[in-house]
Amino acid sequence: MATDRLAILTYHSVDDSGSVVSTSPALFVKQMAVLAELGLRGISLAEAVRYRKREGAWPKNVVVMTFDDGYANVHEHALPALREFEFSATVFVVTGHVGLANDWAPPLERLGLQPLMTWSQIDDLVKAGLEIGAHTVTHPDLRRLDEQAVKREIADSRQSLEDKLQHRISTFAYPFGWHTEYARRIVGEAFDAACTTELRRASYESLEALPRLDTYYLQQPDDFRRAVMGKLDRYLAIRRWGRSVRAVFREK
């Protein structure tokens, strides 16, 4: 069965700090239970994209879960919960920081410096059935780089993952969700699909710029439930507008 809408969820760090990119381990387990209660199955982005290419629409009764950056606490806290519910997911890895920390920018308030997964931990995820995607080498704003630097960040991150994991890497996430037409073209040549941070459910847009639902806005179980079922689309549109306005002011 196919559908024209798909919830692609964005997570980052699974910790109790309360930061804007954090989901507590307890809340994450509750959210996985909500998905199970709704009869939804958690799958990887690659699996969803293969279905859309084959059937022309998204698979029904599924949710795609994505984790950006590759925090070690995803291995510690999210992986056991995913195994418990027999869900898969996609983890986008910043390859130049594997085994190090999230120090590509000043640490976010409350989050601070957090360790990122080692190659061994990443391999554990692969063995558990999760997908690994690329998230550049150093997590830059691709809009600020020249074309050669953009190409290196994208191509080298994929190559590093493929060398280490010995299989093709087919998905990508733009750091901060930001990209240019050139970056999209390079990503489209190298990957089957890529994610932005545009706040809405995916439909029939280009596979090089898929929107996602940021779980920061879905902390309440009822909001989470309604969002994945498509009953918060108007609320998310308002949030999306607010984010776009703030982004314009930040650029000035």
Provide the pLDDT confidence category of residue 247 given band limits of 50, 70 and 90.
low
Stretch (H or E) spanning 65: strand 62-69
pTM recorded for the entire structure = 0.95
pLDDT digits (tens, 9 = 90+) for 187-221: 999 999 999 999 999 999 999 999 999 999 899 99
Find all residues with CB under 8 Å of 136, minimum gap 6, and list them: 94, 95, 96, 142, 153, 154, 157, 175
Which residues have a Cβ under 8 Å from the Cβ of 237 and sit 6 or more positions away? 200
Picking from 172, 151, 150, the residue whose alpha carbon sits closest to that of residue 161 is 172
pLDDT in the model for residue 243 = 66
Average pLDDT over residues 49-63: 97
Positive or negative, the CA dihedral 27, 33, 35, 41 is positive
The pLDDT mean for the chain works out to: 95
Predicted local confidence at residue 248, as pLDDT: 45
| Tokens encoding 163 | 């060398």
110: phi then psi, degrees, rounded to nearest 5: 75, -40
- Of 78, 90, 73, nearest in space to 32 by CA: 78
Q: Which sequence spans correspond to the domains of the chain?
A: 2-251
CA quadruple 117, 7, 36, 71: dihedral, nearest 10: 10
- CATH class of this structure's domain 2-251: alpha beta
Token match 């280490």: residue?
A: 164
Question: Residue 139: left if φ>0, alpha if ψ -120 to 50, beta else—which one?
Answer: left
Residue 115's DSSP bridge partners are 101
Segment 39-60 mean pLDDT: 97
